[in-house]
A and B are shown apart, each in its own frame.
Chain A
Amino acid sequence: MDNTKKITCIICPRGCIIDVKVENGEVKSIKGNQCRRGADYASTEVLHPKRVITTTVYVPAFDCMLPVRSDKPVPKEKIKDIIPVIKGLSIRRPVRMGDVLIRDIEGVNIIASSDMGMEQFQHTN
């Protein structure tokens, strides 16, 4: 079954329109890219689109919203399954940016995107 998908590349501001021909679940040809990265992006995007997830988790102990992210892109269709797991996080201690909050979910870690529960600076005057 022959299928040509049009992809707008997002790797750089050029935004090349790339035609990707797919046959039997395999990329047969890529046309329209102006660089290698574009070609890579286009083939991944057509067959296994992935996205980095970012969302927030409420931490009652510090009464604030902690921004979190997946450290790598996850398959797009898995996003709706991962979000509830993230929202169910229970964080009770101060957190450093980069701390792993959920290990190995759909092949990625969910990490803290910001410090939380620590004084940023000594309050100076």
Chain B
Amino acid sequence: MVFDVAIIGAGVCGSLIARELSKFFLDGCCLIDRYPEPGCGTSRANSAIVHAGYDAKEGTQKAYFNVLGCEMMEPLCRELHVSYKRIGSMVLSFDEADDGVLQQLLERGKKNGVAGIELLSREQVIEMEPNISKNVRGALYAKTTGIVSPYELSIAAAENAIDNGVTPMFDTTVHNISKQDDCFIIQTDNGEVKARYVVNCAGVYADRFAGEPGFKIQPRKGEYLLLDKRMGGYVNHVLFQTPTKAGKGILVAPTVHGNLLLGPTSEETDDPEDTETTAAGMQKIISSVLRTVPDIDLSMVITSFAGVRATPNTDDFLVRASDHVPGLINAAGIESPGLTAAPAIAKHVVSLLAKQGLKLAEKPGHKPRKPIRLLQDMAIEERNKLIRENPAYGRIVCRCEGISEGEVVDAIRRNAGARTVDGVKRRVRAGMGRCQGGFCLPSVIEILARELGVSPLEITKSGGSSVLLVEDIRRCAYDD
């Protein structure tokens, strides 16, 4: 079969592009990703910020898509039932040089068309953020900054795309793409995929398929620290320090689930999948945030993690139809503000495909995404009704987050569903609480094995060869 469109990469960009395309009649659209689930690359480990758009240089694609995407994010998250909060942000000034930077960012923001930005005085900042260092001099306040759950967004978009006819191809690594006449031949470890159009949103590997000589992705790692929910209210806005060449710097931000996030660092790395945290990295985060919040209780750290940015050597997104390869659309070099830009990029890619000749007839009756409803968010009568219909909703699997077996099963059975322990964690939060899966792990493995019809020995933490159980020791003498 020859697909109309093949999308390489089911991160937040690829998944949103797939979802947009699923609104049209197509002769097949497939969403290909090397991981078992969507959003497992850069989309999984980032600052989760929906940026206002004053940071990106004027006239760049980054600036354009950032500002657009920022406005699109709230209605999109509502449609997809993804956690989002518009909490605003501050870029803080601690010295005179910083003051100058704030002024520059203010002007840039205005040029980029960002609404709701203004400079705040020291007193205003301290009033709005009582835990901030008293050394602060002022801040650039942006009302439109938001926080979102990036993996929730990828998962929701991919699921909705598949609900509406997109063909998922997970656990599928693309090795090579070639073109024969008007047909792309995508060589994967699961065989060949043929398509008339290809959208390249392969994240840290996007330079391999961009067909763009001289275009290189330099992977850049960012480490983070995550604090307990008891610290979630320590600050009210996303707090930035002034940006440097390496990026927006280390921030302090509440997460949409109520934790506190510190980070990221910025280190170039040779390995596109280098998600190793380092003692030096953690130290850097700590010394940096102490400047912003000197009294923060660091014993509240519950975990650390790292993500890899797909930093392009062009300093800007590469969202355009390829000049060299007709039918190839690139959405590459999507580093910050990539998450924010993704909804806008998705719409733009669809228009690029149309310009390339893809016939797009709107499909009526696009199925909306069913929300993941957690019992803890329901009233007691509704919960009891659910439990009466299905007792699995009454059996608690994750004590820390109060998640039942029924909810874990739902997370597996949905389209773009969980295939791994981490996947379950990301969908229904079982394993994300204070004990970090210590209590629920055996149950989650058991449920995954049962639902996927495999031995518990095949269940992985996050795909690939990350199996959790190494040997079955249930030896016994007799035959069944």
- Contacts from A to B (Cβ < 8 Å): 57-60, 65, 87-92
- Contacts from B to A (Cβ < 8 Å): 473-478, 480
Q: Is the CB of A65 within 8 A of B474?
A: yes
Q: Is the CB of A89 within 8 A of B474?
A: no
Question: In the complex, A102→B478 CA distance in Å?
Answer: 16
Question: In the complex, A91→B476 CA distance in Å?
Answer: 9
Q: Is the CB of A88 within 8 A of B476?
A: yes
Q: Is the CB of B475 within 8 A of A60?
A: no
Question: In the complex, A73→B474 CA distance in Å?
Answer: 24
Q: Is the CB of B475 within 8 A of A90?
A: no
Task: List the B residue with the shortest CB-CB distance to A91.
Answer: B476
Interface of B is mostly: loop
Question: In the complex, A91→B478 CA distance in Å?
Answer: 9
Question: In the complex, A57→B475 CA distance in Å?
Answer: 8
- Selected A-B contacts with CB under 8 Å, 19 pairs: A57-B476, A58-B473, A58-B475, A59-B476, A60-B476, A60-B478, A60-B480, A65-B474, A87-B475, A87-B476, A88-B475, A88-B476, A88-B477, A89-B477, A90-B476, A90-B477, A90-B478, A91-B476, A92-B478
Question: In the complex, A57→B476 CA distance in Å?
Answer: 7
Apart from A60-B478, A90-B476, A92-B478: 11 A-B pairs, beta carbons within 8 A: A57-B476, A58-B473, A58-B474, A58-B476, A60-B480, A65-B474, A87-B476, A88-B475, A88-B476, A89-B476, A91-B476
Across the interface, which residues of B come within 8 angstroms of A65, CB to CB?
Answer: 474
Across the interface, which residues of B come within 8 angstroms of A58, CB to CB?
Answer: 473-476
Nearest-Cβ distance from residue A86 to partner chain B, whole angstroms: 10
Across the interface, which residues of A come within 8 angstroms of B475, CB to CB?
Answer: 58, 87-88
Question: In the complex, A60→B474 CA distance in Å?
Answer: 9
Question: In the complex, A121→B13 CA distance in Å?
Answer: 53
Across the interface, which residues of B come within 8 angstroms of A90, CB to CB?
Answer: 476-478
Nearest-Cβ distance from residue A38 to partner chain B, whole angstroms: 37
Nearest-Cβ distance from residue A31 to partner chain B, whole angstroms: 43
Task: List the A residue with the shortest CB-CB distance to B475.
Answer: A87
Question: In the complex, A57→B301 CA distance in Å?
Answer: 40
3 closest cross-chain pairs (CB), A and B:
A58-B474, A90-B477, A90-B478
Task: List the B residue with the shortest CB-CB distance to A85.
Answer: B477
Across the interface, which residues of B come within 8 angstroms of A91, CB to CB?
Answer: 476
Nearest-Cβ distance from residue A1 to partner chain B, whole angstroms: 42
Nearest-Cβ distance from residue A29 to partner chain B, whole angstroms: 44
Nearest-Cβ distance from residue B473 to partner chain A, whole angstroms: 8
Question: In the complex, A91→B477 CA distance in Å?
Answer: 9
Task: List the B residue with the shortest CB-CB distance to A65.
Answer: B474
Across the interface, which residues of A come within 8 angstroms of B474, CB to CB?
Answer: 58, 60, 65
Nearest-Cβ distance from residue B92 to partner chain A, whole angstroms: 55
Question: In the complex, A88→B480 CA distance in Å?
Answer: 14
Task: List the B residue with the shortest CB-CB distance to A58.
Answer: B474
